[in-house]
Amino acid sequence: DGGITQSPKYLFRKEGQNVTLSCEQNLNHDAMYWYRQDPGQGLRLIYYSQIVNDFQKGDIAEGYSVSREKKESFPLTVTSAQKNPTAFYLCASSIRRQANEQFFGPGTRLTVL
Amino acid sequence: AQSVTQLGSHVSVSEGALVLLRCNYSSSVPPYLFWYVQYPNQGLQLLLKYTSAATLVKGINGFEAEFKKSETSFHLTKPSAHMRDAAEYFCAVASGGNNRLAFGKGNQVVVIP
């Protein structure tokens, strides 16, 4: 079955630690995205990548970093510089053509203690 | 920049009654519009999309939406609500030649038996 996997489902970290969230897709999509979801805020774009070895900042990139070394993988690192990292993080992918929908993974809920 | 507005964060509807979720968009070029549904602690699933073909778009689970350019709207409807429709619904817009989506803040739908 083709799809997007995110691991782990739940993640707990101590304040001040960096943490990396995994996102893998086997849909052969060129474009991948990371969103942050907070209650009542909708989805906000953190970073996106339209092709391997290239990525762009979204609307709330501060305190986050990404890499895109392989087409299938787009890991997100939440650094200690992110002031309020506790949130639900969603990864998505799409064909690199306008009007094509984004397909979403199941999400990772990060709690920073 | 494109954006969408969804009013009323929580919407209560009786089982069997009409579901109506409103979405208004802002875009300087012809938009592509999407409705997604999210069940608790899951990713988003596409309900339907408008890509400049028919203005009345039918989606999954009995939902449909009508694109009205004069009103810059793309409201989502379902004639008869079912308990399984309880979820959060997001409207999104893409325009301007890239794959980025701008999401509304969502409507949490509660179905009353």
| pLDDT for position B97 | 63
Handedness of CA A74, A23, A113, B107 (dihedral sign): positive
- pLDDT at residue A63 in the model: 96
- Tokens representing B62? 């009995």
Q: Is the pLDDT score of B33 beyond 70?
A: yes
Distance of CA B12 to the CA centre of its chain: 16
Contact A99 B101 (CB under 8 A): no
Q: Which of B9, B41, B90 sits opposite A40 (nearest CB)?
A: B9
Instruction: Please check whether residue A90 touches B, CB under 8 A.
Output: yes
Q: A5 vs chain B: nearest CA distance in angstroms?
A: 10
Chain A and chain B share a number of CB contacts under 8 A equal to 58
Round the average pLDDT of chain A to a whole number and report it.
93
Distances (CA, A) of B46 to A20, B38, B113: 27, 9, 26
Instruction: List pLDDT tens digits, range B48-104.
Output: 999 877 899 999 999 999 999 999 999 999 999 999 999 999 999 986 666 789 999
* CB contact burial B36-56 (16+ within 10 A = b; e otherwise): bbbeeeebbebbbbbbeeeee
Give contacts of B103 with chain A, Cβ < 8 Å. Answer: 35, 42-44
For A99, the closest chain B residue by CA position comes to: B32
Backbone angles phi, psi at B99, to 5 degrees: -90, 0
Q: Is residue A45 within 8 angstroms of chain B, CB to CB?
A: yes
Interchain CB contact of B11 with A (< 8 Å): no
Between B47 and B41, residue with greater pLDDT? B47
Q: How far is the C-alpha of A60 from the C-alpha of B1, rounded, in Å? A: 16
Q: Alpha-carbon Rg of chain B, whole angstroms?
A: 13
Contacts of A102 in chain B (CB under 8 A): 99, 101
B95 or B105: which leads in pLDDT = B105
CB of B108 closer than 8 Å to CB of B7: no
Average pLDDT over every residue of A23-33: 95
- What does the pLDDT read at residue A30? 93
